[in-house]
């Protein structure tokens, strides 16, 4: 379907309010719904979970599997345009939707982001334009391709081509024997072996691209992971060296343009150390949607990544986002409801709410919880954005919030 501008608040041809649809009802869908509703759009979410974070707050919630034909038909009937909040939505479902409605990002763009093999090939095609290449790697799909892996990729990380996230579906290997064993352990599904790089830092860039090809970039965010999951994101001048940050932004724009991408795209990068001690940039992976590392935009920028997603989907203008405050985002995982066990939950397994009142007493703290009922270790429950007049102030407040939450200082 071709793109048309959808004006919020005006009725669509079938008489219902202009409605934006989203495949998936997790926290990213919820924050998309919130941004869409703030602008006056009605929303519809397709997600099988009756308690899904986005389903809870959307005008309509279709409780169906992502490949359920009656569910998809209902989504088409209710929506004027449709987006997705996760990359593993079945490609056939997006194709069904796209036959009758504007869908952004397109099924073909999502297919690239779903599969590390296609993703790496795309990054390599873009490298001459973007100036940033992926890590040295090899694709492993057969015993012969396993045997043909060059020695200089070891030690490395074996990653499943599909369905990996938050460090899942990855094994570190130091020798050929370990590599063979790891591939066995991953049931010999198609994989990518990447050379293990020495990382100085990790960063990511979010861009929004409209159907007219206009693309705008958010500032570069510096990310710190803990046990494979994003822990904090820091965004202010100097968090990432200026030259590298500019290259990361230009590379992300080139990657989006080359795909003729429409919507919000996040690309992750590694800052690596070369043998001579200088730094370089390596492109890691991309997400065809807003990203955990972009949540700071809600409170530190004049347009959030979710509003940008709404605007791109609705064919509305995309002015260049401006960051108006230095910021740090703290990810809030379910562990916080249990730890330190002895103090908060008296060593019981009953979840206890973290000390939100004390945290919110700190100036410049913005709490976002996703409405998930059951806290579980590792489950993403929310995030806390910290803003302030200066980097020093933001760091101080973040350190206080981390201490109140019993979290490690993580270099803040
Ligand atoms: P996921 O889909 O789980 O986010 P990533 O490819 O981003 O998968 O890997 C997760 C984390 O593992 C990265 O953020 C980084 O810290 C580390 N990592 C991944 N690939 C490499 C590599 N080639 N060298 C060093 N560290 C890596
Ligand atoms: Mg990643």
Residue 68 CA to ligand 1 centre (angstroms) = 33
Q: Max alpha carbon distance in the chain (Å)?
A: 65
Rounded Cα gap, residues 185 and 171, in angstroms = 9
**pLDDT computed for residue 339 by the predictor:** 66
Torsion of CA 378, 383, 388, 392, to 10 degrees: 10
**pLDDT computed for residue 341 by the predictor:** 43
Per-residue pLDDT band for 95 (boundaries 50, 70, 90) equals very high
pLDDT tens digits, residue range 326-382?
A: 999 999 999 999 866 445 545 557 889 999 999 999 999 999 999 998 899 899 999
**pLDDT computed for residue 350 by the predictor:** 81
pLDDT tens digits, residue range 40-54?
A: 999 999 999 999 999
Out of 167, 227, 331, give the residue to mutate to test ligand 1, the one with the largest number of ligand atoms within 8 Å of its CB. 167
Nearest ligand, CA 119:
1
Rounded Cα gap, residues 334 and 49, in angstroms = 19
Q: What strands lie across the sheet with 156-160, from one edge to the other?
A: 137-140, 191-195, 156-160, 170-173
- Per-residue DSSP letter, 15: S
Q: Which atom of ligand 1 is nearest to the CA of 156?
A: 23
Nearest by Cα to 374 from 330, 331, 333: 333
User: How many beta carbons lie within 10 A of that of residue 119, not counting itself?
Assistant: 23
Rounded Cα gap, residues 214 and 260, in angstroms = 10
pLDDT tens digits, residue range 239-294?
A: 999 999 999 999 999 999 999 999 999 999 999 998 888 999 999 999 999 999 99
Backbone angles phi, psi at 203, to 5 degrees: -145, 170
Q: Which atom of ligand 1 is nearest to the CA of 137?
A: 23
Q: Which atom of ligand 1 is nearest to the CA of 164?
A: 2
Q: Which atom of ligand 1 is nearest to the CA of 282?
A: 23
Task: Give the residue carrying structure tokens 């990361």.
Answer: 248
Rounded Cα gap, residues 27 and 369, in angstroms = 9
pLDDT tens digits, residue range 311-320?
A: 999 999 999 9
**Is the backbone peptide bond immediately before 105 cis, with ω within 30 degrees of 0?**
yes
**pLDDT computed for residue 348 by the predictor:** 56
Rg for the chain, CA atoms, rounded? 21
Decide if pLDDT at 168 tops 90: no
What are 10's two structure tokens?
């005006």
Q: Which atom of ligand 1 is nearest to the CA of 270?
A: 15
Residue 170 CA to ligand 2 centre (angstroms) = 11
Dihedral sign (CA 359, 360, 364, 367): positive
Q: What is the pTM of this model?
A: 0.95
Give the total residue count for the chain. Answer: 412
CA distances from residue 132 to 33, 159, 230, 263, 271 in whole angstroms, order as listed: 34, 21, 23, 22, 11
Decide if pLDDT at 304 tops 60: yes
Mean pLDDT of 125-144: 95
Nearest residue CA, atom 19 of ligand 1?
157
Residue 110 CA to ligand 2 centre (angstroms) = 16
Q: What percent of the chain has pLDDT over 70?
A: 97
Nearest ligand, CA 272:
1
Nearest residue CA, atom 21 of ligand 1?
196
Nearest residue CA, atom 8 of ligand 1?
167
- Per-residue DSSP letter, 200: E
pLDDT tens digits, residue range 185-207?
A: 999 999 999 999 999 999 999 99
- Burial 374-409, CB ≥16 within 10 A → b, else e: ebeeeebbbbbbbbbeebebbbbbbebbbebbebee
Mean pLDDT of 219-231: 94
**pLDDT computed for residue 1 by the predictor:** 57
Nearest ligand, CA 116:
1
Q: Three-class SS string for 117-171?
A: HHHHHHHHHHHHHHCCEECCEEEECCHHHHHCCCHHHCCEEEEECECCCCCCCEE
Q: What percent of the chain has pLDDT over 90?
A: 86
What are the pocket residues of ligand 1 if the criterion is a CB atom closer than 6 Å to any ligand atom? 135, 157, 159, 164-167, 194-197, 199, 202, 225, 228, 268, 284-285
Q: Which residues, 6 or more positions from 96, have their beta carbon under 8 angstroms from its beta carbon?
A: 69, 72, 76
Task: Give the residue carrying structure tokens 């791109």.
Answer: 312
- Per-residue DSSP letter, 196: P
Residue 188 CA to ligand 2 centre (angstroms) = 22
Residue 331 CA to ligand 1 centre (angstroms) = 18
Beta-bridged to residue 43, according to DSSP, are: 20
Mean pLDDT of 162-184: 91
- Burial 252-265, CB ≥16 within 10 A → b, else e: bbbbbbebebbbbb
Mean pLDDT of 101-113: 95
The DSSP annotation for 320-374 comes to PP-B-S-EEEEEEEGGGGTSSHHHHSTTSSS-----HHHHHTSTTEEEEE---SS
Q: What is the mean pLDDT of the chain?
A: 94
Which of these ranges, 7-11, 21-25, 240-244, 333-337, has the smallest mean pLDDT?
7-11
Out of 120, 202, 270, give the residue to mutate to test ligand 1, the one with the largest number of ligand atoms within 8 Å of its CB. 270
């Amino acid at each position: 379907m071709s793109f048309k501008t959808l004006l919020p608040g005006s009725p669509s041809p079938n008489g219902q309010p202009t409605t934006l649809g989203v495949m998936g009802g997790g926290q990213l869908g919820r924050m998309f719904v919130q941004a869409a509703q703030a602008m006056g759009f009605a929303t519809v979410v397709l997600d099988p979970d009756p308690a899904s974070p986005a389903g809870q707050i959307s005008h309509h919630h279709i409780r169906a599997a992502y490949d359920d034909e009656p569910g998809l038909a209902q989504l088409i009937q209710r929506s004027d345009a449709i987006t997705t909040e996760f990359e593993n939505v079945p490609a056939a479902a997006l194709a069904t939707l796209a036959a009758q409605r504007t869908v952004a990002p397109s099924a073909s763009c999502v297919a690239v982001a779903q599969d590390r093999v296609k993703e790496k090939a795309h990054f390599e095609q873009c490298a001459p334009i973007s100036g940033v290449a992926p890590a040295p790697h090899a694709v492993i799909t057969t015993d012969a391709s396993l045997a043909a892996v060059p020695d200089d990729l070891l030690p490395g990380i074996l990653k499943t081509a599909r369905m990996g996230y938050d460090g899942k579906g990855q094994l570190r290997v130091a020798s050929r024997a370990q590599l063979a064993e790891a591939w066995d352990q991953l049931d010999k599904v198609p994989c990518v072996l990447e050379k293990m790089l020495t990382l100085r830092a990790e960063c990511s860039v979010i861009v929004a691209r409209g159907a007219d090809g206009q693309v705008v970039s958010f500032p570069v965010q510096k990310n710190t992971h803990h046990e494979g999951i994003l822990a904090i994101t820091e965004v202010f001048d100097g968090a990432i060296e200026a030259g590298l940050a500019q290259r990361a932004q230009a590379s992300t724009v080139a990657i989006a343009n080359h795909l003729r991408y429409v919507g919000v795209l996040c690309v992750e990068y590694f800052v690596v150390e070369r043998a001579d001690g200088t730094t370089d940039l390596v492109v890691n992976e991309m997400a065809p949607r807003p990203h955990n590392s972009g949540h700071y935009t809600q409170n530190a920028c004049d347009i959030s990544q979710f509003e940008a997603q709404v605007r791109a989907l609705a064919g509305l203008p995309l002015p260049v986002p401006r960051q108006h405050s230095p910021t740090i985002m703290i990810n809030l995982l379910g562990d916080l409801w249990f730890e330190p066990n002895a103090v908060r939950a008296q060593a019981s397994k009953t979840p206890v709410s973290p000390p939100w009142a004390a945290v919110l007493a700190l100036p410049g703290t913005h709490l976002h919880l996703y409405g998930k009922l059951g806290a579980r270790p590792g489950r993403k429950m929310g995030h806390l954005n910290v803003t302030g007049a200066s980097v020093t102030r933001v760091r101080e407040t973040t350190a206080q919030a981390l201490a109140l939450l019993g979290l490690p200082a993580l270099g803040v």
